[in-house]
Amino acid sequence: MACDSASRESNLDILLIDPDEQRSLHIAQELAASFEVRIAEKTSAREALGSFTRARFDAVIVRQDLGDTDCWRLIRMIRSGRFGFAATPVFVFCSRAERAALLPLLDADTQLLLEGEVSALRDALLGLHDGRGRRAVLVIEDEPEAARAAVAALEKYYRAEAAGSGEDGLARWWGRRHDLVLLDLRLPGIPGHEVLRRMLLEEPGQPVIVLTAYDAIDQHRDLMLAGAVDFLSKPVDLHVLPEICAMALRNSAVLSNADRSAACEEAMDELVGRVRAAQYTLERGRTAHAAQHLRMAVFESRSRNLSDDEWARLASEFD
């Protein structure tokens, strides 16, 4: 199932898991009619994991119920990285009722599709086929052979490109804002330390993995304190490089989600403050001030698309 460089450009390798063989065959035929694709059809999670462990797939298509387990147990095993590439995109066909229950369990590499939305699946896979659905990785490395080897190891899973100097790396990064940067420290022109500083000055959340020929723990500590998310000692083990990148992206997403949650909580506190102020001024007969606070609260609530729990919290302020 592993692809050579020529076949990668024209084929996708898909793992399709569905206990219903006729339904699986129908989806496989629709996909094959749209673009070149190799599909491994399996009827159980156990059987599918055997294939996933042995081969490299561009995507996995599943149902909520897989017969011998549910899709989330399977996805959890995939995301562990113990059975294959952890960041493999997974598409889950589900009903509307199942979708509501599954939404809270989503991760960045999993997408829910309603039953019958084969066209949406086809569009998503075409994005992978064209490279649009893959995260962008920039390798800044001045040794041409090492740079080519790193890009070759990553291109099955990412849109990878290389830059041979600090100046070139910054120029490419400014143009694309890659999801992840692999940064060598010993670069001609602008050194790696300065490249890291400039990137994080402009984009503090940019994930950067530093490549270093030194194993000095003090240097590694200083680099991570400066903002690097990880470091790799050279020569890099190319077999595990895609998984290391996936782990760095997952950790970065967790931190981003935590930051967003904190910002949402702060915004909710401000909204509650508006409601409390409106109630306070209304009780004292200052209707104009109360109306102003309520108008602002209504505006903020519309822009935030409040959940049922958040509406309940606001309502409790009037109890």
pLDDT at residue number 318: 55
Residue 39, token pair as written in the block:
């599909």
pLDDT at residue number 286: 78
Number of neighbouring beta carbons within 10 Å of residue 183: 26
Least confident of 2-16, 55-69, 101-115, 207-221: 2-16
Residues 6+ apart with CB under 8 A from 232: 182, 209, 210, 211, 212, 241, 244
Average pLDDT, the chain: 83
pLDDT in tens, 31-49: 998 888 999 999 999 999 9
Q: Rounded to an integer, what distance in angstroms lies between the CA atom of residue 239 and that of residue 249?
A: 17
Residue ranges with strand state E in the chain: 12-17, 37-42, 59-63, 90-94, 110-114, 136-140, 159-163, 180-184, 208-212, 230-233
Arithmetic mean of pLDDT, 83-107:
89
Q: Rounded to an integer, what distance in angstroms lies between the CA atom of residue 198 and that of residue 195?
A: 5
196 with 226: CB under 8 angstroms? yes
247 with 81: CB under 8 angstroms? yes
pLDDT at residue number 103: 86
State pTM to two decimals.
0.65
Nearest to 60 by CA among 46, 81, 80, 74: 74
pLDDT at residue number 256: 52
pLDDT at residue number 254: 63
Q: pLDDT band for 233, please (50, 70, 90 cuts).
A: confident
Please give the share of the chain, as a percent, with pLDDT higher than 90.
45
Q: pLDDT band for 259, please (50, 70, 90 cuts).
A: very low
